[in-house]
Structure formats: structure tokens, C-alpha cells
Structure 1
Amino acid sequence: MKMNLIAHESHFWELYQDFEHYYLSIAVDMSSVVSCWDLVLTSEEILQYEHRGRASIQELTKAMIDAAYKGDFSMMEARLAKPYERHAMQKAFKEWLAQSKTQEQSSF
């Protein structure tokens, strides 16, 4: 399974895609600790992203984080990515980061 980082908002969320699914990695800052959640998007959320782009992901992450601040993590707990999916997301992030650094260095 080839995973790619397709959109992100630095230090807040990252959106990944493989052949069949979309995945969202969210950082929830609870002031004393930041928890990271790797989630699988539903088909409805994927359609929203395909039609509305980043705005749909921004609204989704805001809703999840607002619920987490109220102590409700159920929106995130119900859709956790499997360990092999999380591993693929981490690998895609590292590849994206290495590529970004290479592009940054070549622009000097």
C-alpha cells in the first residue's frame, strides 16, 4: 500500500491517501499535553473533501477538537487507523519531509 501526504496544516493536521482510503492525523493540544490521533475518513467525509477541499477537513478537525475539549473523544475513538495504516502514514510523512528539505536546499 503506497500512502501519500496530500494536504496539511502545520502542527495541526495531515491528510493522507492510499489506493482506497483517506486518513487524517490530528494533533489535539490540551495545553499540558498534545495527543495525536490517526483516523480513517468515512466515505461521506471523502466526498466532502473531493467537493469542498481543505475547508471540509478544517471543519471536520475543528468539530473533533471541540468535542475533545469537552471530554468527548468518541468521534475519534470510533475510527482509529490500524497499526499498519499508522505505520504507512508515518512513512509517508518522513518521505514528504525529506523531499521538502531537498527542495528547500535546492532553492538556495
Structure 2
Amino acid sequence: MKLIEVELHWWELYQDHEGVYLKVNIFLRLIVFEKCVILDEDAIKNYLEQGKNFIDRLSKQIRSSHFRNDYNRFYPYPDAPEDKRKEISEAFHLWLDSSNAPYDPYFFER
């Protein structure tokens, strides 16, 4: 599993030999809920054509749909299985350990 793109505190994009995964952080007052999905071919194509801006827009739409409780109505992306979520967590921590920048999980920019 490899971290491809990241918008700290908001979303992370990963890839392995089986697919591309988007982890979106959804802030619910006192807790953070993580939605981790497998992107389909169309989303991957859009990412390759539009870059980080596509993932930024998609993550905002996913976050918004969770607040409206209509995610399943509008998005075809299945949830990533537990083993993939574990690999994603490990990849993030490897990236974090190799990064020179300090990571503050409680700092919110937006």
C-alpha cells in the first residue's frame, strides 16, 4: 500500500496492486469518522485527468453526503475491507514517520 496524495486532516489517497482507495475524515463535533472507499475506474480516470482537485471535490461531496445521510443513494464506491483499512493505517504511519514536518492531529485549517 502506498500513499499517493494527502490533504492533511481531510483526506488521503492510497494505491496498491488491487486498487485505489480514498479515506475521508468526517468531523462530527467530538469525534472523527473515517470513510474509506474503493474508487472505481471512472473516479481513477478523473483523478488522472484532473489531479488533486478531483479528489478534493469528491471528498467534500462524500463528507457532505454523510451529513445528509444519503451517501448510499449517490455514490457507487464500496467500503474498503478491514484488511485494506489496516494496510492504509500502516502506510500512513510509515509516511508520517518518514516526514520531517510535525503532525498535529488536532490542528484544523479550514
TM-score range, shorter chain: 0.7 to 0.9
- Flag the structure with higher helix content: 1
SS at match of 2:49: helix
Indicate the residue corresponding to 2:83 in structure 1. 84
TM-score, normalization: structure 2? Answer: 0.82
Counterpart in the other structure of 2:107:
none
User: Using the alignment, how far apart are the partners of 2:9 and 2:34 within structure 1?
Assistant: 10
Q: Give, in angstroms, the shift of residue 69 of structure 1.
A: 1.4
Counterpart selection for 1:17 from 6, 15, 18: 15
User: Once the two structures are aligned, what percentage of the paired residues are identical?
Assistant: 30
- Structure 1: 5+ residue stretches without partners: none
Structure 1 position 20, deviation (Å): 3.3
Map of 1:8-47 to 2, 5 A cutoff? 8-47=6-45
Shift of 1:59: 1.0
Match of 2:67 in 1: 69
CA RMSD of superposed structures (Å):
2.0
Unaligned runs of at least 5 residues, structure 2: 103-110
Q: Alignment length, in residue pairs?
A: 101
> Which structure would you say has the larger Rg?
1
**CA offsets 1:68-98 (integer angstroms, 9 cap, x no match):** 1112232579510011111111111111011
